[in-house]
Amino acid sequence: MESFISNLNYSKLKDLHRSKRENYTDEFSIRIHRSLSWINRAEKQDEDIDAKFIFYWIAFNATYSGSQLNSYSYSEKHTYKDFFEKILKHDQSDYVYNAIWNEFSGSVRNLLDNKFIFSSFWNHENGHEGYEDWEEKFSQSKSKVLNALKGKNTLLILEILFDRLYTLRNQLMHGSATWNGKINRSQVTDGQSIISFLIPTILNIMMENPNEDWGKLTFPVINN
């Protein structure tokens, strides 16, 4: 099973979906189908890591998007924290933790050491009040991850890691970075390598646990 997880791709996930979807609700099957379609698109971007990162992020959005996103007060960060709790509850073999610790420890460390994807740094640079201590918060977040790794607090690791990746996502999606730019190559490279493993792994865990409450689709299929 471990080798299967480490080699997950669209083809294997689609085969799994076909073999199990008769036992899925229509809503859950649509959620999986949508995410798979973006994983398929991401895998075709061998040379364009910016596009690859964006397509994998859309696949990630498809896994957890729900009606709560229509609430102004319910932030996306809270949404994926709740989602990660469900994923980790069913990750009995610690695939996510082992990937972060064993396979991507270097990439994770690079992202955590990069202040240019730390949101408090940019809030300070843009003159927002209350972020004068961004360097202290930056150091604290790295210490939190090291302690979380030692204590196998995978949820906290994912929260901090995806906080960085979310800033990177915003830079790309909102036109605040140059396509294929030299300045952000390291963070885009590390970011896409991590999510290109984590998103298929998350999808696999979901398909093996269809009875979990994965939420309602924000935009369900409506037949006229």
Token pair, residue 150, equals 């030692």
End-to-end Cα, the chain, rounded Å: 43
Q: How far apart are CA 148 and CA 157, in angstroms?
A: 6
pLDDT at 160: 93
DSSP one-letter string for 16-27: HHHHHGGGS-HH
Q: How far apart are CA 191 and CA 60, in angstroms?
A: 13
Judge whether 223 lies within some domain.
no
pLDDT at 72: 42
Q: How far apart are CA 122 and CA 66, in angstroms?
A: 29
pLDDT at 162: 94
Contact predicate 51/22, CB 8 Å? no
Nearest CA-CA partner of 201 in 99, 68, 127: 99
pLDDT at 75: 66
Judge whether 214 lies within some domain.
no
Judge whether 216 lies within some domain.
no
3-state secondary structure of 62: helix
Judge whether 197 lies within some domain.
yes
Judge whether 17 lies within some domain.
yes
Contacts of 193 (CB under 8 A, 6+ apart): 104, 107
From the first residue on, what is the mean pLDDT of each consecutive set of 10 residues in the chain (224 residues)? 67 97 95 98 95 97 72 62 94 91 88 94 94 95 89 92 95 96 95 95 96 92 84
pTM: 0.92
Domain count, the chain: 1
Nearest CA-CA partner of 36 in 18, 13, 52, 57: 13
Judge whether 123 lies within some domain.
yes
Contacts of 56 (CB under 8 A, 6+ apart): 38, 39, 42, 192, 195, 196, 199
Write out the residue range of the structural domain in which residue 89 sits.
2-208
